[in-house]
A and B are shown apart, each in its own frame.
Chain A
Amino acid sequence: MKIETRKFGKIEIDEQKTLFMPEGLPGFPGFERFILIEDPKSAPFCWFQSLQEPNLSLVVMSPFLFKADYEIDLEGFVASRGWKGVKVEDLLIYVVINVFEGEKDKKITANLMGPIVINLKNNEAIQVIISNSTYSHQYNVLEPS
């Protein structure tokens, strides 16, 4: 299927890879269908693109590329969603990325408090909010690991 995006114009996507957010995306009520777009120019960052609104596209990234020991309770999460037969290997984790242009240097931050968990078995995506951890919502990605 073809979708309209502001950043990449009209693009062809694999319908099998479209994602459904049953609980929506905080900050953007009413938008439930998304797709992950990988663009060589912005890799390792990806775009979490809305299928409903060409202008809605968030920057996301795998947290393990800059924080190898990032950990959330995936087993507990799978159990709380009632996802039967879903293993941790069936899940992808992305975190929302922000870029701040400072006077001298640029800052890249990641929201480790609100990872987006994608279930490859049913193509659902949920932004999980972890409030009982010490993870920051503006973790410095450029900090030496």
Chain B
Amino acid sequence: MLVLTRKAGEKIKIGDNVVVNILSIEGGTVKIGIDAPREVNILRMEVLEQIQNENIAAASKDVTQISAAADLFKKKLSNEKEVREKKD
């Protein structure tokens, strides 16, 4: 890994189109501005990890479990419909 030391107000250029600005450093927090083309995907790493974890968990379900969940969901919808009809 390349390690650089930068001060607030300094910048880093990555490739041809990406510039990372160190905007401010306060306490333990660094504020960063990134200039990049819109097709470059910029993500907080923990968000990507959440998505990965949800995908991995969703791939471990079996049909029985999901049909039980489907029944539960359909029950919720019909309960809501009943409530609406009572209101009318």
**Contacts from A to B (Cβ < 8 Å):** 7-8, 25-28, 39, 41-45, 55-60, 65-66, 79-82, 96-99, 101, 106, 108, 111, 113-114, 127, 129, 131, 137-138, 141-142, 144-145
**A interface footprint on B53-70 (CB within 8 Å = 1, 0 otherwise):** 111111101110111111
| Docked CA distance A43–B57 (Å) | 19
CB–CB A106/B69 < 8 A: yes
B43-85 contacts to A (CB < 8 Å) = 43-44, 47-48, 50-59, 61-63, 65-70, 72-74, 76-77, 80
- A–B Cβ pairs within 8 angstroms, 21 of them: A25-B55, A26-B52, A26-B55, A27-B52, A28-B55, A42-B63, A42-B70, A44-B73, A55-B59, A97-B58, A98-B57, A98-B61, A106-B72, A111-B51, A111-B54, A114-B51, A114-B55, A129-B48, A131-B43, A131-B47, A142-B73
State the majority secondary structure of interface residues on B.
helix
Q: Which residues from B are CB-within-8-Å of A98?
A: 54, 57-58, 61
Residue on A with the closest CB to B42? A131
Contact of B41 with A by CB under 8 A: yes
What is the CB-to-nearest-CB distance from B77 to chain A, in angstroms, rounded to a whole number? 8
Q: Which residues from B are CB-within-8-Å of A127?
A: 51, 55
What is the CB-to-nearest-CB distance from A42 to chain B, in angstroms, rounded to a whole number? 4
Q: Which residues from A are CB-within-8-Å of B58?
A: 58-60, 96-98, 111
Residue on A with the closest CB to B75? A142
What is the CB-to-nearest-CB distance from B18 to chain A, in angstroms, rounded to a whole number? 15
**Cross-chain contact of B51 among A7, A56, A99, A137 (Cβ < 8 A):** A137
CB–CB B55/A113 < 8 A: no
Q: Which residues from B are CB-within-8-Å of A26?
A: 48, 51-52, 55
What is the CB-to-nearest-CB distance from A106 to chain B, in angstroms, rounded to a whole number? 6
CB–CB A41/B63 < 8 A: yes
Contact of B26 with A by CB under 8 A: no
Given A80-B38, A82-B39, are A138 and B54 neighbors across the interface (CB < 8 Å)? Answer: yes
